[in-house]
Each structure stands twice: as structure tokens, then as C-alpha cells.
Chain A
């Protein structure tokens, strides 16, 4: 059983949903980012998304765009992101790590080498935003061989005609994008999320995580009542931005502030009683 499957099985046994926490690797600098990621699991995240910075993140809103720019400016690369994952994995054998980003850096690295090196570094899955099912074969093949889950996205535009294409060959869990829009710009409507998750469950047995548009513990709790996990990214990356000084350097309280936010989100989710879908 993969780390992702084990974690969702454990959450189910606990009778609660999980918290997926996203941070961009290397944001705001490599040292601070490392300290942040080291604390994410202890702060209450059940799965960790490690954002791979990209110069042209076309599905991301201003918060994550800015986070990526800070990371690139700090010298972050895909190679260093994998090194960061390896470092984290040495300290934590159980928390699933999922890379999230865009295809071009992976294509440049080489899809086969990427899948192999990612698994070797302790990565469990990858969400590649601009790689729809029609185009993901060249990564999915090597990923399957290496044991890396390619995690697919479903969205409000994924109707019953589209969903079979999405779930065929999907691994790990299904990531439901709760808003038609880019990250961090709108709030997800919990009624609509509930309906969408119910519809997804008719198409797949995979766990469903819901992300895009979850900004605070209350919204996370509402999503946790319907889905298997709630993913939060922009709100955390925003918290990073709020703790930079005028020159863009990390203020002393940055790590505590971001991890505190993760704890609050985790408490919200743990307090929510999970309803049967």
C-alpha cells in the first residue's frame, strides 16, 4: 500500500478528513522554506504539497505567482526541490509528499529521470496542472514504473461526459478544484462542493481532496464534512508574504506564523464531524 493510500485509510479509521497543506519550495528563501516544511506535519498537515516554482504559472492567482517568483529569485530549481524533499523524508517516514506544478521544468529534466528521482527522494505523487489526461502519457508511463502516483484534477467544468476520461488511470487521490478560476481568488461554496464530491464518488473509489478557494478554518471544516481532505495553499503562501520585511526578507516570526495558520486549519478540520457522502 502506498503512503498516500495508507494515510487516507488511517484518516478514514479516525473518522475525519485530512488537511493537505501547500507551500512553494524555496519561498521566500531556501533556508526559511526548509524550516517551514520541517514543521508542516507536526503543525497538523496530513499530506504535504510541495510546489515546484515555475515562471509562468497560468492556473495560479497572485499569491502563488508571487511565491513562485520569490522562490525562483532565491535560486530554487527542480533539482533543489527534490533535494528538499529528500531532506524532509529523512526526518519523516510517513507523511505523503506530493509535488505540484507545471510540466515544462519536468520535461526539461526528463520525465523518466524525474519520476525515478522523485520516488528516490521520497515523493509519493505529482499533480501537474497543465498536463490533462490527453497529454500525460509520457509522464504517467515512467511514473507508474517508478511508483509515483499521477494525481488528476477534476473541476466544476468536469461533467459526467468528461469524468470517465479523468478517473481512468488516475492515481493516489482525486483533486477537486472547487472553483472555476485560479488559485486563491474566490471562496468555494460548500453546498456546491458537497454536490460535486457526491458526483465524483459515483465515478471513482479514490479519495477526494478539495482545494482552490479554501481560506480559513471554517471553510476547511465545511469542506471536511463532505470530502476526504481539504487542500489549502494560497492562504498559507499569503501568510508567508505578510511576514516579509520591506526588502522581501523573512521576518523572525514567519515560520511560527505560517505553522500557526496550519494548526488552526487542522483544528478546524479535526473539529468537523465527517458526514457520510
Chain B
């Protein structure tokens, strides 16, 4: 493992984390991306921007989210002391709103009145539609036709909130295709539109900007763990699709050598089957959606379909900073299959009275593997980044239950 003075100084001024990241976009978008970068740099240096964001995080989202000691699961696993960072209690039911509010406040500062977004599970779409309702902005959400079918409640929520949901039929009709169409929309509406990207991916400055907005998760965890246990946590676990909830939890701890971090990718039917969404464990570096990162692709560089029970993890790429941290060995990346996630989904519901989203159920399934072997004073924090209401129909179907 290569040792750096700090893991928190990236990206460089051109948006690179080592060889990853960058700005691989059509020339039409370059001036727009440069304008977002300039506006974000200005906002970051302006205390009134953070103050405004903090106001909405406290009073609208309901932050800070609790750091909850999961006593029954801890007893059940019989090892490490398990804490949940309860970001599923946020308004709209997931961590996505943290980032969306930041970007929407930025869009307002830039005078943009039309907001576009891509969504997979619909959580980012719902969060974006919510913030657009709050600030009276027009909102267009691109969503793969396949995902619309498996996430009907969220589609209805977005419409209730006043957003237009555009079904994407191109390619495989999932999250990657929704992102393609959002980028196509942006190219065609350069004057009035701001693209709210939902994860730590895309062209610079998005990976860094989304990370900054999600770092509230890790910053709170640090303070809360200090209050609860008087020290740093020992291990952090979070699920990874694009990787924004994981990056938000990990980033404030990257320079603490005693803190171990594990990102959990979606293993689908298993890495060996080729039917998975594990870009780091089953992909190779490439260029897509504005950044260089690990991608699921064939020998010709064509992007392959991702497969996961969880629509929110069903993406053939991963944020570039994760790709970099993976190569450096600072964060471990593992994978969990659909089956293991389903079992964890049910276990969490029964033992803690919390129905988790299928995404963090992947993280919990990995916790179930490692917690029993860890000492009882080992402090393990898992990011419970979303609630499972949206998933009950899909889960029922997998369990053979007709609703």
C-alpha cells in the first residue's frame, strides 16, 4: 500500500484523482462545466452559502441524522459493536437530499431555472423533484424504462412533486442510459439548465462537489461517535453504486490510519456469472459519462449491462475517487450478491424494526460476514443510507409473495 501524506487533497486542478476523473465531455458542455466549477469554487469560499445549506439541512432534511447503536443486531452477530448512521431518516428517505440541496442552491446562485437529473432507484429523482418544488424550479428527471417498471412508487412521488419523468428506452433502459439522456438534454439546453448529478461521478467538478456535500455524513459520525464512545470508529462499511453515500461517510476519516473502510459493491448473481454491478471487483479502467474510472466493459471497450436486485446500485461504473482509493489500497472493496442482500434486508427488518433499502442491505450483508469475528469493543459503523419502502414490491416478488 502506497502511503500519502493525505488522502483528502484530491482532485488536482483539472479534476484528476491519479489517472481517474477528468472532464471527458462533448465540447458543447465544456464551457458549462467550467462555469459550474467556477461557481462552486466561489460558493465554497462564501460562508453565506454554507450557512444557507446548513439551514435547510437542519430544518428541512432533519439533520443531524442519529448514530444509532443497533443492540439486537450486535447481539445477533455476537462480535463488533454495530452502529447505524441513520441517513434513511432524512426527508425523502435517503442520503441523496444532502447533495441535491447543495447543488440546487448552487443552481439558484447561477440563475438557472431548469433542473435536470438522472435517477436509478428513483431516490435521487425524488430528492431533486423535492428541492425543485421547494424552490419553484422546473424539473425533468430521466429514468430508464426498466427502472420505472420496478420503482413505480418513486415515479409517482416525483410526479406528485411536480417533476416531469422522462422514460429512457435507449440502450439497456437503466441508470447509465438515463445519464446519457440527461447529458443529451443538457447539450440541447445550455442556456437555462443545471444538471444535478446524483453521485460522485461525472465530469469534474461533480465528483468532488458531490463528495463535499455528502461529507456531512462522515463529519456528523465523527462527532457522534466521540460523544457515544469517546473515540474514533474502527471500521466503516457502506454500499456502493456510484459511491456517494460511501464517499460521504469515508472522506472525513481517510487520514485516520486506524479507521478501516469497506465499500460494498452489488455482486448480483455473483462476480463469476458476469451478471453483477461490481465495477471495481469485476471491471477495468475506462472512460464514460465524463470521467475515467473502473467500468464494466468488454474487450472492445463497449459498456456492459450491470445487474443488481437494487436499482440504485445498477450502474456499470463507480466514482473516480473510489477507483483511486481502490488502487492505493486505502479502502477495501468487496461485493455482496442479491441473495445475501435479500437475507440482510429481512434480518434488519425483524431484529431492529428498520426496513432498509436494498442498497444498504448489501452493506449489512457484509457486516454480517465480518462482525462475528471482531472483538466486542470493535466499533463498526454502517451507513444506513436509505429506507426500504420503495423496495417492498420488488422484495415481495423475489420472496414469491403477491401483494
| Interface flags, B7-47, vs A, CB<8A=1, else 0 | 00000001000000011111111111000000000000000
Q: Do A153 and B301 contact each other (CB < 8 Å), given the known contacts A58-B183, A108-B286, A182-B188?
A: no
Q: Is the CB of B31 within 8 A of A158?
A: yes
Q: How far is the CB of B10 from chain A (nearest CB, A)?
A: 17
Once A59-B184, A107-B287 are accepted as A-B contacts, the answer to whether A132 and B299 lie under 8 Å apart by CB is no
Q: Are B297 and A104 in contact (CB under 8 A)?
A: yes
Report if B397 contacts A (CB, 8 A). Answer: no
Roughly how many angstroms separate A107 CA and B302 CA in the complex, as a whole number? 11
Cβ of B170 under 8 Å from chain A: yes
Residues of A within 8 A of B26 (CB): 58-59, 129-130, 132, 153, 155
Q: How far is the CB of A100 from chain B (nearest CB, A)?
A: 12
A-contact 0/1 string along B169-181, CB 8 Å cutoff: 0110000110010
Across-interface contacts of B292 in A (CB, < 8 A) = 107
Contacting residue for A108 out of B24, B30, B180, B300, CB 8 A: B300
Say if the beta carbon of B190 comes within 8 Å of chain A: yes
Q: What 0/1 readout, one digit per residue, does chain A (174-216) give for beta carbons within 8 Å of chain B?
A: 0001001110011000000000000000000000000000000
Task: Tell whether, in the assembled complex, residue A56 and residue B286 are in contact, meaning their CB atoms are under 8 Å apart.
Answer: no
CA distance A155 to B286 in the complex (A): 26
For the complex, what is the distance from the CA of A196 to the CA of B133, rounded to whole Å?
Answer: 38
Tell me if A55 and B27 are in contact (CB < 8 A). no
B286 contacts across to A, CB distance below 8 A: 104, 107-108
Contact with B along A17-30 (1 / 0, CB 8 A): 00000000000000
B24 touching A130, Cβ below 8 Å: yes
Q: Which residues of B from 201 to 253 have beta carbons under 8 Å from A?
A: none
Residues of A within 8 A of B297 (CB): 104, 108
B129 interface residue (CB < 8 Å to A): no
Q: Which residues of B contact A107 (CB under 8 A)?
A: 285-287, 292, 301
User: Which A residues, 146 to 186, have Cβ-Cβ distances below 8 Å to chain B?
Assistant: 152-159, 162, 166, 177, 180-182, 185-186
Q: Of the candidates A78, A155, A182, which one forms a contact with B301 in the assembled complex, judged by CB atoms under 8 Å apart?
A: A78
Decide if B288 touches A56 in the complex (CB within 8 Å). yes
Q: Are B24 and A103 in contact (CB under 8 A)?
A: yes
Are B287 and A103 closer than 8 Å at their CB atoms? yes
Residue A65 lies at the interface, judged by CB distance under 8 Å to chain B: yes
A65 & B188 in contact (Cβ 8 Å cutoff): no
Contact A132-B30, Cβ < 8 Å, known A58-B180, A58-B183, A58-B184: yes
Contact residues in A for B24 (Cβ distance below 8 Å): 103, 130-132, 135
A77 an interface residue at 8 Å Cβ cutoff? yes
Interchain nearest-CB distance for A21 vs B (Å): 21
**Bound-complex Cα distance A135 to B23 (A):** 7
Which residues of the other chain, A, contact B301 by a CB distance below 8 angstroms? 54, 78, 104-109
Chain B residues positioned under 8 Å from A162 (CB to CB): 30-31
With a cutoff of 8 Å between Cβ atoms, the chain B residues found around residue A65 in the complex are 170
CB distance from B76 to the nearest CB of A (A): 43
Partner of B287, one of A104, A152, A153, A158: A104
How would residues 289 to 322 of chain B score, 1 for a CB under 8 Å from any chain A CB and 0 otherwise?
Answer: 1101001010111110000000000000000000
- Complex Cα distance, B179 from A55, in Å, reads 13
- Per the 8 Å Cβ criterion, residues 5-58 of A in contact with B are 54-58
Are A154 and B171 in touch, CB under 8 angstroms? no
Chain A nearest CB: distance from B266 CB in Å? 20
Please, how many angstroms separate the alpha-carbon atoms of A154 and B27 in the complex? 7
B298–chain A nearest beta-carbon distance, Å? 9
Q: A55-B303, A59-B187, A162-B31 are in contact. Are A132 and B23 (CB under 8 A)?
A: yes
Verify if A134 is at the interface (C-beta below 8 Å from B).
Answer: yes
Bound together, the chains give a CA A180 to CA B187 distance in angstroms of 6
Q: What residues of chain A lie closer than 8 Å to B290, measured between beta carbons? A: 130
Return chain A residues, CB-CB under 8 Å to B30: 132, 134, 157, 162
Find B288's partner among A104, A109, A177 (CB 8 Å cutoff): A104
Q: Does A255 contact B (CB under 8 A)?
A: no
Per CB-CB distance, the 9 closest pairs between chain A and chain B, nearest first, are A108-B301, A105-B301, A181-B188, A155-B28, A55-B302, A77-B300, A104-B301, A153-B27, A59-B26
18 contacting pairs across A/B (C-beta < 8 A): A55-B303, A56-B171, A56-B180, A56-B288, A56-B303, A69-B171, A102-B287, A103-B287, A107-B285, A107-B286, A130-B26, A131-B24, A155-B26, A157-B28, A157-B31, A181-B28, A181-B188, A185-B188
A: residues with CB less than 8 A from B are 54-59, 61-62, 65, 69, 72, 77-79, 102-109, 129-132, 134-135, 152-159, 162, 166, 177, 180-182, 185-186
